[in-house]
Chain A
Amino acid sequence: MNQNFEPKIIAFLCNWCSYAALDLAGTSRMKYPPNFLVVRVMCSGRVDPQFVLEAFRRGADGVLVAGCHPGDCHYIEGNIKTLRRMTLLKRMLEEFGIEKERFRLEWISAAEADKFVKVANEMFEQIKALGPLKLKEVNTHE
């Protein structure tokens, strides 16, 4: 395993809960690795599974989709739709040989900065252990 390997993670966060939680982690000066790049959407329900594939295709070593807890979605139940879509996507990713540790769906409320940091750190550790994502065939397609 390459000790210097720093995984790059793309996080799709809903505006109302998870994005706010990550802001709170900032306000609380918590620490997590820098290679964690956020794409803000209004609701986790906006996250098209294609975006996740796109992130992997472009070179992400891990992808996180996070939204409000079930029942707390700002748009009533966008996150429930996300859950359905991402459950299917997870299976597909495994078929593609993308290890399950590389993709996570989490419910993180605006107050759960600590949970967010825990999830981020866990992902980094696990993906670091896995090494960079290799998607040769797909990548050469470009």
Chain B
Amino acid sequence: MGEEPRIGVYVCHCGLNIAGTVNVKEVVEYAKSLPNVVEARDYVFMCSAPGQDIIKEGIKKHNLNRVVVAACSPTMHEHTFRSALAEAGLNPYLLEIANIREQCSWVHSDKEAATAKAKILVRMAVAKVSLLEPLEDIKFKVNKNIMIIGGGVAGLSAARDLAAKGFNVYLIEKKPVIGGNAARLGRLAHTELELKGIDVVKELSKHVVNNPNIHVYVNTELVSVDGSVGDFKIRLIKNPRYVNEKCNLCGECAKVCPVEVPNEYEFGLTKRKAIYLPYKEAYPPLYVIDPESCTRCLECVKVCPTNAINLNQKPEEIELRAGAIMVAAGHEPYEPPIGEFGYGLSNRVITLFQLERMLDVEGPTNGELKINGTQPKNIVFIMCVGSLNTTPNAYPYCSRMCCASTIKNALIIKDKYPEANIYILHKDIRTYGRIDEQLYIKAGEKLIRFARYGEAPNVIVSPNGSINVRFFEETVQEEISIPADLVVLSVGMKPPKDIDKVRTIIKVGCGPEGFLREAHLKLRPVEAATDGVYLAGTVTGPKNITESIESGSAAASKALSLLTKEEVKVEPIVAVVNEEICSGCAICIGMCPYGAIRLKVQENVRVAEVDPALCKSCGTCVAACPSGAMQQYSFKDKQLKNQVAAAFIG
């Protein structure tokens, strides 16, 4: 630095937004009296082109080396004014904004008091700016690969779009098969062609399998992620499948396997073996051994005609580099605890997803809705199970897809079994948007009965197996009891089980319910606050299939705007060590959530060293440093203390 500060102060009227409450002229006169201020001016809109010209001219004419702009919040125009400085040949980081709109003129009505405060804010900014230093942007080369976590419809649609643009995609899936939750859904609403969940998955997979730009890793989990936007270093573990590509799907292995466990792909309606094919159209089309239930009896190995089974397969470590990461890890359906609404107490109480499987012609009952051999006549749907705080275990939010999905299934049943009496018990019907409301109208026409509950309905399963659903109907204000042959629980969505592990590795925040948080709910809905990390599908909250695919494509296009760049720039407000006073105590290392600090030995002494590529600029290590050796650019102790002191002096 060395050079005497020569500061210009530019005060914005923001039309009357500032000037209506703050006496701008008085602030300008006051600014001129402050130490090192060479020029102070005002203008009606400082952010406009002529306003910026005033700043640029000032810098050149007065040879300014520091600038304060007193205007709106730095979140609005810090960027604009930094560019103006750069265009005038001044380092853009020699700027400080005094927020005299959001934090002054808009919140105070007394003119005199607001003007006095604006002066103090300008004084504080001048105090800080006089100690600021020129900084250079940190630049990284962008690696052109992207890793997508999650092979459901959101991840698949993103992979398709990114590969179509010629980028390399690593698609990571924890399960032995891609397709996610959608693959298990039956007929989808609003599709004349009887399109099923699996058809959507197959259509998307078509672009993904055999695509030279897409590398699918199933049975694979995330171990660690280092690096940052533009260059993430990723470690994965690929768990053994125990069955290799020689598998010809003959199924002899499963026939001889003595182990039976509930089939998760049929939501427990049927059993599967320890060696199994997840479902008919599964990709990759290979059997897999579930190591948790396999007893290693080797019967399957003996009968396999192609020698495709190897029980000694070991987990495989994989290392990748990618410029961007997308999390599309999906959700899990809410599973009611035993006894909630009679769930688990009778096979006449099922979830919406079990119903979807039963109504699927390729499902366990070949599309026949039969319980114990007979077709249920009185069918009661209970909505908002697991959502809207219906029970103490439930989540507080609305799961979004269940209203339409429930009514869709009710209509399918009514079509197939016109004599069925269907009741839908709801808190509220949310068939939102352009087309879902048609389902509700159609259900009314088909005499499907809707009733509204407030308190959770009581499902009474008597010892003889008969079921009664009792509830207080809110519209007619009456206690109602319905004898039911089948109760369907419209379960909602919850965050996937291991998401906490993934999110701590990638460093993405989550909300209180556990879904991942967008950088901004409205303005940046498919980006995480961590640069270079994108979010797609239900991992940020409930969505239907259309919305998931949409968000996959949206996240892909956001990621493209990064991947198509050669370089990324990062604000250089990172931590930095003064090696002369660092004692090598290593306290800072424990503070850093990003592993950006390490100790190095230099001339036989240990000192801390910050990797600016990893530092995210929180400054937590700085506050912890006992000697003051650790500092943060633009937020150094002396800069901030000077700013504080200026609040009082004068």
- Bound together: yes
A85 to B623, Cβ gap below 8 A? yes
| A114 shortest CB reach to chain B, Å | 13
A34 to B117, Cβ gap below 8 A? yes
Cα-based distance from A51 to B640 in the complex (angstroms): 8
B517 to A46, Cβ gap below 8 A? no
Indicate whether B543 reaches chain A with its CB closer than 8 angstroms.
no
Cα-based distance from A40 to B96 in the complex (angstroms): 11
Indicate whether B573 reaches chain A with its CB closer than 8 angstroms.
yes
CB nearest to B616 among chain A residues: A75
Indicate whether A123 reaches chain B with its CB closer than 8 angstroms.
no
Query: Known contacts being A58-B647, A74-B529, A81-B591, is A38 close to B107, with CB within 8 Å?
Result: no
- Name A31-86 residues within 8 Å CB distance of B: 31-32, 34-35, 37-43, 45-51, 54-55, 58-60, 71-78, 81, 85
B641 to A34, Cβ gap below 8 A? no
A34 to B116, Cβ gap below 8 A? yes
Contacts of A40 in B (CB 8 A): 74
B75 to A43, Cβ gap below 8 A? no
CB-CB contacts of B97-117 with A at 8 A, as 1s and 0s? 001011110111110011011
A71 to B512, Cβ gap below 8 A? yes
Contacts of B635 in A (CB 8 A): 41-42, 46
CB nearest to A81 among chain B residues: B620
Cα-based distance from A3 to B407 in the complex (angstroms): 66
Contacts of B99 in A (CB 8 A): 23, 38
Contacts of B298 in A (CB 8 A): none
Contacts of B73 in A (CB 8 A): 23, 26
Cα-based distance from A61 to B617 in the complex (angstroms): 30
B121 touches which one: A19, A20, A29, A37 (CB < 8 A)? A37
B623 touches which one: A25, A29, A47, A76 (CB < 8 A)? A47
Indicate whether A22 reaches chain B with its CB closer than 8 angstroms.
yes
B593 to A75, Cβ gap below 8 A? yes
| A103 shortest CB reach to chain B, Å | 14
Chain A residues near B (Cβ < 8 Å) = 8, 10, 16, 19-20, 22-23, 25-27, 29-32, 34-35, 37-43, 45-51, 54-55, 58-60, 71-78, 81, 85
Chain B residues near A (Cβ < 8 Å) = 73-75, 99, 101-104, 106-110, 113-114, 116-117, 120-121, 124, 504, 507, 509-512, 517, 529, 573, 591, 593, 616-620, 622-624, 632, 635, 637, 640-641, 643-645, 647-649
- The 8 closest A-B CB pairs, nearest first, are A46-B619, A26-B102, A45-B620, A75-B618, A43-B618, A26-B106, A48-B623, A23-B102
16 A-B pairs besides A22-B102, A34-B104, A50-B637 with CB distance below 8 A are A26-B102, A31-B107, A34-B113, A34-B117, A42-B635, A43-B620, A46-B619, A49-B623, A54-B644, A72-B517, A73-B509, A74-B529, A76-B507, A78-B618, A78-B619, A81-B620
A sample of 10 inter-chain contacts (CB < 8 A) reads A34-B108, A34-B114, A39-B644, A45-B591, A45-B618, A46-B623, A49-B623, A74-B618, A75-B620, A78-B593
